[in-house]
Amino acid sequence: MQQDNQNNKVVLITGGIGRASAERFLKDGFRVVIADLNKSLLNQALTVLEEKHPGNVISVECDVTKTDDCRRAVNTAIP
């Protein structure tokens, strides 16, 4: 990916596509919001990602089958 096009870009990643995707986006200069229903797994992922990319990762507990949770996740992702 070209670095110039990623300035101020944010990606919202929901559980299932994993940390590898988050790592790739972080490496390419994106801010990453990770969302998952499982709070324990979410916190583990946040810890690992924050260690390598401090200040560029946000987590939000989210059940993608619930509209209000999805809205909250998107609102968290939008600066």
Please report which helix (H) or strand (E) contains residue 14, including its range.
strand 10-14
Topology of domain 3-77 in CATH is Rossmann fold (3.40.50)
Return the domain boundaries, the chain: 3-77
pLDDT tens digits, 9-66: 999 999 767 788 999 999 999 999 999 999 999 999 999 999 999 999 999 999 999 9
**What region does 19 belong to: left with phi over 0, alpha with psi -120 to 50, or beta?**
alpha
Question: pLDDT at residue 4 above 70?
Answer: no
pLDDT given for residue 18 in this prediction: 79
